[in-house]
Amino acid sequence: MNSIWELDTFYRKRDIIIIGAGFSGLWTAISIKEKYPEKSVLIIERNTIPLGASTRNAGFACFGSLTEVIADSEKMGWEKTLELVTMRFNGLQKIQHYFKHDEIDFELNGGYEIVNTEEPLTQIDAVNKKLKTITGLDQTYTLKQNKIKEFGLGKSEFLIENPCEGGLHSGKLVQKLLEKCHELKIEFLFGTEVQNIEETDKVEVQLSTDLSVIADQLIYCTNAFTSKFLEKENIIPARGQVLLTEPVDGLKLKGTFHYDEGYYYFRNIGNRILLGGGRNQDFKTEETTAFETTEFLQNHLENFLKEVILPHKDFKIALRWSGIMAMGEEKSPIVKQFSERQFCAVRLSGMGVALAPKIGEMMAEMI
Ligand SMILES: Cc1cc2nc3c(=O)[nH]c(=O)nc-3n(C[C@H](O)[C@H](O)[C@H](O)COP(=O)(O)OP(=O)(O)OC[C@H]3O[C@@H](n4cnc5c(N)ncnc54)[C@H](O)[C@@H]3O)c2cc1C
């Protein structure tokens, strides 16, 4: 049993409880507290640090490569596509407004997409025109063939540059967001898994058989792990595997790179290479919430490293890890109220760095 001291403090009733301390949960809490300073906000996180996608990703501060924007427009139409690009573009501006570049290792080195067919190139001008109202640039995407050699890339026919893209340090961003939360007196229960939810004239958040916390409103920011609670939502877990090399002598490559419609992504971190992806080689196995790496995909990524990123160079792998994203039939995140007192901001796909700041604002408007 708990003591009166614990029940009066850590487990007391709150105005709002958020489940999940990834980018979504943290930005949501910040936006709510900024709009409603008098409301008490508690974030419940099952792990000792946020552990899902936010501390496991590649740290691309990106809003969509050329082929991705084209593919989205074909699937969702231009209106929805531009809405999503705007959200992500504004999200990146917001991150830079809140935190100094050196606090989160934000480097605006430009983003690149490698494409091996000519088709997308024929659409560059049309897409640039559409994006001008968002980025303010005449040419958001430009062909930069000379950089293929400069960066030493193999198996790359065309290279498209986007100067608005950058990279950042996801761990440092999460830490800065946590600092901001503490400043705003947002409270936390780490290492605490939510087991069950019951809604009546309040929401009861069950932490174990004999312990629960009450709230007026509840927000799920559980991304890929949401199906346990919201079975009806279309949320498919997608594991992303990553590797990081030891420092590479004379590395010239700088920036964030997308390949094969974004299924592969790589960047430099100083003079190391971080490479992730390849999910399209083994979709079924990667549709999981298990934090593991597989020999098959790691070997595949190493091969990709040899053939595309570091041809003719020696390298050693320093680290391998995986994280879990949330995908769905539709690309858009699910940000909504689904009962009198419950809300969700989930399914951030592979773009949560840029999306989460705006999703937080949307949630603060909704509650
Ligand atoms: C390998 C990889 C590379 C990626 N690269 C990029 C990139 O370069 N750029 C980019 O923008 N995006 C990238 N993404 C996507 C991005 O990381 C995600 O969109 C974003 O982090 C999602 O944030 P979130 O807060 O919604 O989810 P998460 O960070 O997964 O947070 C959800 C949290 O909920 C907690 N939780 C779940 N269930 C419970 C429960 N029952 N009780 C309590 N807590 C619970 C989890 O422990 C977790 O901490 C990548 C993702 C991966 C996996």
Residue 142: which CATH number? 3.30.9.10
Pick from 54, 92, 227, 359 the residue to mutate for probing ligand 1's pocket: most ligand atoms within 8 Å of its CB: 54
3-class DSSP assignment, residue 41:
strand
Q: Are residues 256 and 343 in the same domain?
A: no
Q: Given the CA of residue 322, which atom of ligand 1 is nearest to it?
A: 1
Span from the CA of 53 to the centroid of ligand 1 (angstroms)? 3
Count CB atoms within 10 A of the CB of residue 48: 8
Query: Is 276 close to ligand 1, i.e. is its CB under 6 Å away?
Result: yes
**Mean pLDDT within 83-98:** 96
Query: Is 53 close to ligand 1, i.e. is its CB under 6 Å away?
Result: yes
- Inter-residue contact 281 to 302 (CB < 8 Å): no
Q: Are residues 158 and 123 in the same domain?
A: yes
Residue 80 lies in a domain: no
Residue 183 lies in a domain: yes
| pLDDT for the residue 330 | 82
Residue 64 lies in a domain: no
Query: Is 219 close to ligand 1, i.e. is its CB under 6 Å away?
Result: no
pTM (2 d.p.): 0.97
Query: Is 22 close to ligand 1, i.e. is its CB under 6 Å away?
Result: yes
Q: Given the CA of residue 352, which atom of ligand 1 is nearest to it?
A: 19
Q: Are residues 362 and 314 in the same domain?
A: no
pLDDT tens digits for range 8-23: 999 999 999 999 999 9
**Mean pLDDT within 55-69:** 96
Half-sphere exposure for 246 (CA within 13 Å, toward CB) = 7
Residue 36 lies in a domain: yes
Domain of residue 162, residue span? 108-166+237-327
The CATH number assigned to the domain holding 334 equals 3.50.50.60
Q: Are residues 159 and 268 in the same domain?
A: yes
Cα–Cα distance measured from residue 87 to residue 29, given in angstroms and rounded to the nearest whole number: 18
Match 């917001």 to its residue by tokens: 94
DSSP run (H or E) holding 275:
strand 272-277
Pick from 42, 45, 57 the residue to mutate for probing ligand 1's pocket: most ligand atoms within 8 Å of its CB: 57
Count of positions (residues) in the chain: 367
Query: Is 19 close to ligand 1, i.e. is its CB under 6 Å away?
Result: yes
Q: Given the CA of residue 326, which atom of ligand 1 is nearest to it?
A: 19
Pick from 353, 355, 358 the residue to mutate for probing ligand 1's pocket: most ligand atoms within 8 Å of its CB: 353
pLDDT tens digits for range 133-182: 999 999 999 999 999 999 999 999 999 999 999 999 999 999 999 999 99
- Inter-residue contact 334 to 24 (CB < 8 Å): no
Tell me which amino acid residue 190 is: F
- Inter-residue contact 213 to 203 (CB < 8 Å): no
Q: Are residues 13 and 35 in the same domain?
A: yes
| pLDDT for the residue 131 | 97
Q: Is the pLDDT of residue 312 over 90?
A: no
Q: Are residues 183 and 118 in the same domain?
A: no
Residue 311 lies in a domain: yes
Span from the CA of 325 to the centroid of ligand 1 (angstroms)? 6
Both structure tokens of 204: 């009861």
Show the beta-strand stretches assigned E in 69-210: 111-115, 142-143, 158-162, 166-167, 187-189, 196-199, 203-208
**Mean pLDDT within 120-133:** 97
Q: Are residues 21 and 144 in the same domain?
A: no
pLDDT tens digits for range 207-243: 999 999 999 999 999 999 999 999 999 999 999 999 9
Residue 229 lies in a domain: yes
Count CB atoms within 10 A of the CB of residue 100: 9
Nearest Cα to Cα of residue 42 among 176, 192, 171: 192
Q: Are residues 127 and 199 in the same domain?
A: no
Query: Is 359 close to ligand 1, i.e. is its CB under 6 Å away?
Result: no
Q: Are residues 246 and 318 in the same domain?
A: yes
Residue 103 lies in a domain: no
Query: Is 107 close to ligand 1, i.e. is its CB under 6 Å away?
Result: no
Q: Is the pLDDT of residue 329 over 90?
A: no
Cα–Cα distance measured from residue 338 to residue 217, given in angstroms and rounded to the nearest whole number: 12
pLDDT grade for 125, boundaries at 50, 70 and 90: very high
Residue 94 lies in a domain: no
Count CB atoms within 10 A of the CB of residue 252: 13
Q: Are residues 221 and 273 in the same domain?
A: no
**Mean pLDDT within 239-261:** 96
Mean per-residue pLDDT over the chain, rounded: 97
Ligand 1 atom 20, closest CA: 352
Q: Are residues 312 and 335 in the same domain?
A: no
pLDDT tens digits for range 180-202: 999 999 999 999 999 999 999 99
pLDDT grade for 276, boundaries at 50, 70 and 90: very high
Cα–Cα distance measured from residue 87 to residue 81, given in angstroms and rounded to the nearest whole number: 10
Structural domain count, the chain: 2
Q: Are residues 136 and 248 in the same domain?
A: yes
Q: Which residues of 147-156 are buried (b: 16+ CB within 10 A; e: fewer)?
A: bbeebbbeeb
Query: Is 361 close to ligand 1, i.e. is its CB under 6 Å away?
Result: no
